[in-house]
Amino acid sequence: MVKFPDEQIEEIEDFAKSFLVFRRQPKKKKKIGRFLRILGPGIITGAADDDPSGIATYSQAGAQFGFHMPWTMVFTFPLMVSVQEAVMRIGAVTGKGLAAIIRNNYSRKVLYPIVLLVVLANTFNIGSDIGAMAASTQLLIPGVPFGLIAVCFAVMIIFAEVFISYRTYARILKWLALALFAYIITAFIVNVPWTDALTATVIPHIQLDQNFLYVIVAIFGTTISPYLFFWQTSNVVEDEITEHRMPQKGGIPHLSRPYLKRLRIDTVVGMLFSNVTAWFIIVVGAVVLNHAGITNIVTAADAAKALVPLVHTFPNAGFLAQVIFAVGVVGIGLMSIPVLAGSSSYAISETFSWREGLFRKFKQAREFYLVIITGTLVGLLLNFIGLDPIKALVLTAVFNGIVAVPLIFLIARVSSSKKVMGDYNSRFWSKLGLWITFVVMFLAAAALIISLF
């Protein structure tokens, strides 16, 4: 009897499963269905990246600098993929979250400051996102107090993340990402000078003044965000648990080529979706806001004006644009705030070896869920100390851009470690992408900090 190697057996099993699932479907449906089944942590991570903070930052970039910023999306895409592919691989290979890996390989002097910075950044981000959701909703129902709306959103988010199962929740998160298509549609309605826009996309424009550096660091921070590193690492582990792919104890597991390929496709598609959407937000901001003389977004109403051309032929176009903007901000906020709170909870739970995971029920991981609840409530409270919702969104992105620097350094070290990753450690192109990302983020953050003095 012929005995196949374990690797070939696993690949044969993967092929057999795919064949059984899709054998009775038409050829086109097979391909589409297979592609949609691949999408998981990566597409959720990518969509969550365009959170209210991202929408505000990209809109401000377009409004303030016109066509001087679209190139950032082409520039950040390979950097973003490098980092998210590395953390995806770390989660798949080790079966552990990022904080747990740092805890196992570095001292507490390294672990505690990193986790503290990430939790602070996430909490501030949660607060600014809740504020943006409440301010956007007030555009539609101005008679309802801002505080009441913010509290309702916080309670809704806590309930959804604590009491809805992970699989159901993941499906909801995927569909909420559709709210971002309003900006893509708007770009094809307004009179975009496509030659200028595409030229600005491939030819970088750089200024060394403080305002430009501030927005650049904000774009880097909201695109390559620390909370995404922790979220995707732990989400890959969650997926492995639900698919019964958890690594065996005491060694580096074998991961089949089809499985790793699936994870990479998921990651690249998620990051591409994020950056393409962000590119359209910048372009729409440049055409609609900058060309109309709106160079500083102060309120949610200012940001909503970017979508007026989408409904300009309808009566009350301004109000309809506010409706679409509010739905987009609220939809993406409902998706991104649980990611932020979950990211903090993964980091803290792994630091103190608590039971964790959205696949667990509340009574099975009380500390994990209590961190989620606490993080959301503290973020909510920030809105009652005079925090300006729109300014806070961009400031949050800048803070994330600075916090990401030491984290990327650790990710580059861990993903390249033979001891941690075995044969799945980063090779030349992965290492190159990670270290370029670290250098670029470091120089941008350093330049901004120097410009402030």
Low-confidence winner among 251-265, 280-294, 421-435 (lowest mean pLDDT): 251-265
Percentage with pLDDT > 90 across the chain: 30
How many other C-beta atoms are found inside a 10 Å radius of the C-beta of residue 196? 15
* pLDDT 10s digits, 11-33: 445 544 444 444 444 544 444 44
The confidence score (pLDDT) of residue 318 equals 80
The confidence score (pLDDT) of residue 170 equals 61
Cα gap 405→324, rounded to integer Å: 35
CATH placement of domain 42-451: 1.20.1740.10
For residues 126 and 324, which has the higher predicted lDDT (pLDDT)? 126
Total residue length of the chain:
453
Residue 35, pLDDT > 50, answer: no
* pLDDT 10s digits, 283-311: 999 998 998 888 888 878 888 888 888 77
Residue 10, pLDDT > 60, answer: no
- With beta carbons less than 8 A apart as the criterion, state whether 71 and 200 touch: yes
* pLDDT 10s digits, 312-340: 777 777 888 888 888 888 888 887 888 88
Question: Please, what is the Cα angle at 171 between 168 and 174, to 5 degrees?
Answer: 150
The full set of domain ranges for the chain reads 42-451
For residues 205 and 235, which has the higher predicted lDDT (pLDDT)? 205
Residue 163, pLDDT > 60, answer: yes
In which band, very low, low, confident or very high, does the pLDDT at 228 lie, cut at 50, 70 and 90? confident
For residues 389 and 69, which has the higher predicted lDDT (pLDDT)? 69
150's enclosing H/E stretch is: helix 146-163
- With beta carbons less than 8 A apart as the criterion, state whether 229 and 407 touch: yes
Q: How far is CA 266 from CA 111, 152, 247, 259, 444, in A?
A: 29, 33, 20, 11, 29
Cα gap 335→54, rounded to integer Å: 13
Average pLDDT of the segment spanning 119-138? 90
Average pLDDT of the segment spanning 380-387? 86
The confidence score (pLDDT) of residue 421 equals 87
The confidence score (pLDDT) of residue 31 equals 45
Average pLDDT of the segment spanning 228-247? 70
The confidence score (pLDDT) of residue 357 equals 80
Nearest Cα to Cα of residue 264 among 42, 31, 36, 34: 42
Nearest Cα to Cα of residue 73 among 235, 222, 279, 233: 279
